[in-house]
Amino acid sequence: MRLSALTVFVDPQQPELDQLQEKLRSMRKQVMRMTVDLEELNVAIWSVEQEYQLRLSRVYRELEETELSTQQFQLRLRLAREGVETGAIENRVVDCFKSRWERLDNLYSPDPNATNTKSGSTSSEPFNNSQQEQLQQVYHQLAKSFHPDKASMNLPDSEMMVRINRAYETNDLKTLLRIQEGSADIASMDKSESVIVQKKRIEWSIRRTKRFIGDLTIEISRVKSSEGYRLKTTFDDCQKNGKDLFTDLVKDVQRKTNRAKQHLQELKQKFNRILSIKRRVEE
């Protein structure tokens, strides 16, 4: 038989299958890109928040303590003018402000459960056995795929492994599943199946990947509407203009604290004068 007599049969649905496969590849790349962007955004927000806490928590605490002490002396003054005895005044003040001082102490006490990884967050709910098993399973599969000895997609292997390890250490199963989805290989599908069966599998995979993209879109929007993101944006804008946001904030808070301390001192002097008059009258 002459070679020219041979014909190659091409399933009429093959071009459509090829298009679906290309669409799925593109969508999975989008999942990976969005996952990396979200992770980087969370890390950046966490870093700014940590610097904010480090540089401003002390001055903010001093301001709040001064304002709380001012409220205490305002109450002392009112009670003294009403003729309440000195001992009773102190008891009333302690009872009234005890919970507020406790709240302030708790607010600025270091959190023993805080973590120094992305956005300071760990899994908010404990894993059950099934979830823990899935976490380890996905992690081991990804660690094998992104081992430094193998080629990765768009990022250096060591960088991707840092992300995978960070997600695993913080029980971030969601991120691991997104990386798994974004790095899934279409070539691993069974080519021995008919084009119709392959097409159905691809369509199912596309629907699944769309859900990942939808969830990521919602989460990125949520993060970008957070106070942490607004703080990061302001911090970045200041850096572009050669300014240090936190230095200016510290100075502003210190000015407020100095004014509050001056007012507090005036209240103390008024209260002491009233006490002095009461003692002379009692004598």
- The answer to whether 196 touches 13, Cβ cutoff 8 Å, is yes
Q: What does the pLDDT read at residue 283?
A: 62
Biggest distance spanned by C-alpha atoms of the chain: 133
In tens, the pLDDT along 163-200 reads: 999 999 999 999 999 999 999 887 666 667 788 888 89
- What is the mean pLDDT of the segment spanning 138-143? 93
Dihedral, 222, 223, 224, 225 alpha carbons, nearest 10: 50
- What is the mean pLDDT of the segment spanning 14-41? 93
More confident residue, 282 or 156: 282
Q: What does the pLDDT read at residue 147?
A: 74
pTM: 0.70
- The answer to whether 122 touches 171, Cβ cutoff 8 Å, is yes
Q: What is the mean pLDDT of the chain?
A: 86
More confident residue, 3 or 253: 253
Q: What does the pLDDT read at residue 116?
A: 47
- The answer to whether 80 touches 259, Cβ cutoff 8 Å, is no
* DSSP H helical ranges for the chain: 14-81, 86-108, 129-145, 157-169, 173-182, 195-224, 227-240, 245-282
More confident residue, 74 or 157: 74
Q: What does the pLDDT read at residue 216?
A: 97
- What is the mean pLDDT of the segment spanning 110-120? 51
User: What are the sequence ranges of the domains in the chain?
Assistant: 13-282
In tens, the pLDDT along 37-52 reads: 999 999 999 999 999 9
Q: What does the pLDDT read at residue 263?
A: 95
pLDDT > 80? residue 149: no
User: In this structure, how many other beta carbons lie within 10 angstroms of the beta carbon of residue 110?
Assistant: 8
> What band does 137 get if pLDDT is binned at 50, 70 and 90?
very high
**% of the chain residues with pLDDT over 90:** 59
Q: What does the pLDDT read at residue 64?
A: 95
Q: What does the pLDDT read at residue 3?
A: 52
- The answer to whether 271 touches 76, Cβ cutoff 8 Å, is yes
pLDDT > 60? residue 9: no
d(CA 241, CA 119): 25
Q: What does the pLDDT read at residue 211?
A: 97
> What band does 157 get if pLDDT is binned at 50, 70 and 90?
low
- The answer to whether 67 touches 260, Cβ cutoff 8 Å, is yes
What sign results for the dihedral spanned by CA atoms 49, 52, 58, 59?
A: negative
Q: Which two tokens stand for residue 129?
A: 């056995």
User: In this structure, how many other beta carbons lie within 10 angstroms of the beta carbon of residue 16?
Assistant: 13
pLDDT > 70? residue 151: no
Radius of gyration of the chain (CA): 32
> What band does 214 get if pLDDT is binned at 50, 70 and 90?
very high
Q: What does the pLDDT read at residue 187?
A: 66
